[in-house]
Amino acid sequence: MSLLSRLGLCLVVAVSSARGAVLALDAARLEGDGWEAGPLHLALEVEGPLPALELKVARFRLEPAALEGRDLRLACPRLELDETGDVRCPDARLTLAMPPWKSVQGRLRGAKTGEGLTLSLSPLSLDGGRIEGTLSVSGAQSRADLRFRGLDLAVPGRRWFVEWQPRGRLGGRFAGALETDGRWRVHGRWTLAEAAFSDVDGLRVGEGLSAVLTLEGRGRDGSAAGSVELTLSDGQLYLDPFYLAFERPLRVAVRGRVAPGELRLSHFEAAMDGVFHAAGRLRWHGGRLHGLRLRAALDDLEQAYPSLLQPVLIGTALDDLEVEGRASGTLVWGADGPEALGLMLDGVTVADRGGRFRLAGVDADLNWAREDAPRDSTLAWREAGLYRIGLGGTRLQLQAAGDRVTVAPFSLDLLDGRLEITGLMLTGFLSGALEAVAGARLKGVKLEALSRALSWPPLQGEVNAVLPRLHYHEGRLSLEGDLVVELFGGKVVVEGLEIQDPLGPAPVLETRLRLENLDLAQLSATFSFGRIEGSLEGRVRNLRLVGWELAAFDAELRSPSDDPRPHRISQRAIDDLTELGNGVASGLSGTFLGVFKTFAYDRLALRVRLEGDTAHLDGAPRTGGGYYIVKGALLPRVDVIGRNHRVAWKELLSRLRNIRVQKAVVE
Amino acid sequence: MIKRAGWPLLSLLLSACVTINIYFPAAAAEEAARVIVRDVLKGTEAAEPEAAPAEGQNGAALDGPSGALRMVLHLLETMVPQAHAAQADININTPAIARLRQSMQKRQKALAPWYRAGAIGFNARGLVEVRTLKPVPLNQRNRLKKLVADENEDRNALYREIARANGHPEWEDEIRKTFARIWVEEAPKGYWYKTDGSWKRK
């Protein structure tokens, strides 16, 4: 009624003429509040039993929807008028072109009665899709009850959602009502088939989606409240960085209200059966998150890891894992950021596919608070591993708050011995600059177990050490204190050990070694290198392993000046040296020296300094060129003399070939 | 007082006059970078540098020791780098560098289609960067991101190790800049690279 009134009021030019039984009205232009049309031709034919109405509009524009149409033709062959002034058109036909739709056509039923205006679409075709239902204006209320089928989303998408490029077919039902005081309510259920979309950067993309969306809402003056439920059951979705393939349906439900500058969700929920379930509530105000309470459960970490966890871990040591088990957690977010976090792990196994680390049988109840008093947490695992070194299980008691985690002393099995950690504290979680400090003690760690784990020749001995401070910061792990390895009857002291980027592609290990009183008899027996009696001492400076491979060192090994052990070297050891050297082994044993099973020696000395791919060699000083590696003593005397001081490292093996018996004389 | 302060002051002045210049061997670095970049981009097998002694040999050939000793030698052989007859100013023949080169070569086959498709390119820090994910199927996007992250880890380690292997960790930045330029120079036509913050196609 109000629309027609406005139409009448806004009629600018009205030219009417009666020509026989036809009443025609032509207008160059009509306009109203939010619309305009023209030229317009309205003809009323009154010759038959019922008058016929025909409306033609060359162009029209609806401002609120930014719609422009042309060639509108509405024909009502039977216009029913009664004495009360009611007007009905039981069977009208409508055709028009209204971009983005090329063709809109269909049948209508319309009635203007004392109760209001009713327009029924039965149905209306939009480029292959169909809409049917009723639009009505009655008293203070306008209502719509529409059903859609097969609407092509690409058509409106090209006009109103260019940056999202939607495609797919939409069907469903929509019902809504608008009161003159501004109150409105809607509910609907839509189905999407073969839907796709993509933003301009391709960072939010859906393909082949099937979805069902149900909506219920009401509102007034820019505020709205209601609920939305969405089920995605086919296709794939990429919301950078997350990728989801809907082999199982994803259900999302949201209930809340929105007002200018504020969003409150009293309940939201997302679930994928057997994979994850999350629920909570949140408040968004003034362009930022003001409050969030979230409960989440990952029922199957093997399924959840690739789509929900790995994408945010790319570039870290945790981006290529095999994971099993269950996890659940809670998150409380306040106006100033995260306030509390809880994480439960149940039977979790984590293994790096690169073989760098693994944890099995992990159970945890971890709690963190931003400001409150530290909360107690526990973390336990059944077994663990670092590279090829196995670690036993343990149970940690820890407290976390703010930027700090402190762990109560704990110990675990390590290579048939024990590793005890005390005073472990981690900081820098919030700033991103993770730092850890701890003290450590190694008790009875067996080298035999170590050599077994690393497939080395079997070594005997054990490691006992007190490390007052282990420190990890900016990718660098450093040990303060000496690591004493009891080995071959003596000891090897590891000093100043540092490992940079321990889980990276090329970890760098730097340290110094001090060798004290090693029993060569035990050492040579381990390597089946003949038999050498005596002691060995020395230093290895600037030892550097990159990617666990030897990159540089400066080793200086020698017999102690006051060695109490006898100095004897077996013919086998000489043979081995000789065989390494130049194949003279048989020559030595073939000479009269072959009757001697062992030889006395004065001292052993060898210095090897590796720089780049070159080894620099030296030994005990010798007049007349070269240097002693083995300086013989007594009779018969055998000297092993080195000649070259600089050799390619790879050629050190060849250099060993050059070690030869320079002198084998009986004086 | 002045007398007492004289010697320390003189020492300070003398020490203040000492200038130590260590020049970055740009030409050698460029040559080394080109060798590595060509190897990686071609995706061919790592060319093992030929073994040759640094000095003359005067020992007889060794057929090989036996038993545990052979095992130790074998371990040593796997742990030590191949020697190179010519000592360049920039040494790239270390086990760590060889391993990083191999790792990058192996990954190249997986990266190459995305270089060609324009999804990724080289940036000014000598790293690989995602240019656009549009050409990448949805289910392969995170795989590509991980490839890029792994490649960059290797590249960062490579630049660091070349500087370290040559005894000048402070050269890392110069080496990185050299590589950044050589990656672009050696890239096949059609590859993308980032310069002054914007992408260009070679």
Asked which of A462, A487, A512 is the last residue of a domain, the reply is A487
Q: Identify which of A96, A103, A95 has the alpha carbon closest to the alpha carbon of residue A69.
A: A96
Domain count, chain A: 3
Which pLDDT score is estimated for A525? Answer: 77
Q: How far is CA A446 from the centre of its chain?
A: 39
- Using an 8 Å Cβ cutoff, are A664 and A635 in contact? no
- pLDDT surpasses 90 at B162: yes
Is A459 domain-assigned? yes
Is A271 domain-assigned? no
Q: What pLDDT band is residue A594 in, cutting at 50, 70 and 90?
A: low
- pLDDT surpasses 90 at A57: yes
Q: Which of B69, B71, B83 sits opposite A576 (nearest CB)?
A: B69
* C-beta atoms of B161 and A546 within 8 A: yes
* C-beta atoms of B95 and A547 within 8 A: yes
A429 at interface of B, judged by CB pairs closer than 8 A? no
- Residues A604 and A462 reside in one and the same domain: no
Residue A642 to residue A628: CA distance in whole angstroms? 6
Enter the tokens of residue A78: 């039977």
Judge residue A203's burial from the number of C-beta atoms within 10 Å of its C-beta, 0-12 exposed, 13-18 middle, 19 or more buried. middle
- Residues A594 and A505 reside in one and the same domain: yes
Q: Show the CA angle centred on residue A399, arms to residues A393 and A402, nearest 5°.
A: 135
pLDDT tens per residue, range A461-515: 888 888 889 999 988 999 888 888 888 888 899 999 999 988 888 899 999 999 9
Q: How many contacts, defined by CB atoms under 8 Å, are there between A and B?
A: 171
Q: Identify which of A632, A629, A622, A576 has the alpha carbon closest to the alpha carbon of residue A601.
A: A632
pLDDT tens per residue, range B20-72: 445 788 889 999 999 999 999 985 443 333 332 333 333 222 222 333 333 33
Q: How far is CA A36 from the centre of its chain?
A: 54
Closest residue in A to B86 (Cα–Cα): A648
- Residues A517 and A475 reside in one and the same domain: no
Full domain range(s) for residue A634: 501-665
* C-beta atoms of A612 and B150 within 8 A: no
- Residues A483 and A544 reside in one and the same domain: no
Asked which of A61, A86, A102 is the last residue of a domain, the reply is A102
- Residues A508 and A479 reside in one and the same domain: no
Enter the tokens of residue A423: 């005073």
Closest residue in B to A645 (Cα–Cα): B55
Cα pseudo-dihedral A575, A577, A580, A582, rounded to 10:
-70
- Residues A660 and A587 reside in one and the same domain: yes
Helix (H, G, I), strand (E, B) or coil at A593: helix
- Residues A461 and A605 reside in one and the same domain: no
Q: B143-155 as b/e, with b when 16 or more CB fall inside 10 Å?
A: bbbbbbbbbbbbb
Q: Identify which of B77, B49, B91, B86 has the alpha carbon closest to the alpha carbon of residue A656.
A: B77
On chain A, the residues whose CB falls within 8 A of the CB of B76 are 652-653
Lowest mean pLDDT among A187-191, A466-470, A554-558, A652-656: A652-656
Q: In chain B, where are the structural domains located?
A: 24-47+65-201
- pLDDT surpasses 60 at A348: yes
Is A338 domain-assigned? no
pLDDT, chain B, mean:
75
Does A142 or B7 have the greater pLDDT score? A142
Which pLDDT score is estimated for A601? Answer: 87
Residue A433 to residue A438: CA distance in whole angstroms? 17
* C-beta atoms of A546 and B65 within 8 A: no
Q: Per-residue pLDDT averaged across B73-79, rounded?
A: 38
Residue A652 to residue A462: CA distance in whole angstroms? 30
- pLDDT surpasses 50 at A86: yes
Asked which of A102, A119, A153 is the last residue of a domain, the reply is A102
Distance from CA of B184 to the nearest CA of A (A): 24
Phi, psi values for residue B43, rounded to 5°: 65, 20
Is A20 domain-assigned? yes
Q: Which of A505, A580, A581 sits opposite B157 (nearest CB)?
A: A505
Q: What pLDDT band is residue A526 in, cutting at 50, 70 and 90?
A: confident
Count CB neighbours of A325 within 10 A: 19
Enter the tokens of residue B18: 């000492």
Is A34 domain-assigned? yes
- Residues A524 and A620 reside in one and the same domain: yes
Distant-in-sequence, close-in-space partners of A251: CB < 8 Å, separation ≥ 6:
A229, A230, A231, A269, A270, A271, A272
- Residues A439 and A540 reside in one and the same domain: no
Residue A81 to residue B64: CA distance in whole angstroms? 116
Q: Which of residues 203-262 of A touch B (CB under 8 A)?
A: 203, 205, 207, 236-238, 240-241, 243, 245
- Residues A511 and A431 reside in one and the same domain: no
Residue A159 to residue A126: CA distance in whole angstroms? 15
For an interface test with A, give the residue of B141, B154, B162, B172 to mutate (most A CBs within 10 A).
Answer: B141
- Residues A444 and A521 reside in one and the same domain: no
Beta bridge partners of A544: A510, A552
CA A428 to each of CA A147, A387, A476: distance values in angstroms, whole numbers, following the listed order: 57, 26, 15
Predicted TM-score (pTM) of this structure: 0.79
Distance from CA of B186 to the nearest CA of A (A): 25
Q: How would you classify the pairing of strands B120-122 and B192-195?
A: parallel
Q: What pLDDT band is residue B14 in, cutting at 50, 70 and 90?
A: very low
CA A457 to each of CA A522, A579, B200: distance values in angstroms, whole numbers, following the listed order: 13, 21, 55
pLDDT tens per residue, range A543-585: 999 888 888 899 999 999 888 999 988 877 766 655 554 334 4
Cis peptide before A39 (omega within 30 of 0): yes
- Residues A463 and A518 reside in one and the same domain: no
Residue A19 to residue A25: CA distance in whole angstroms? 11
Please name the amino acid found at residue A305: Y
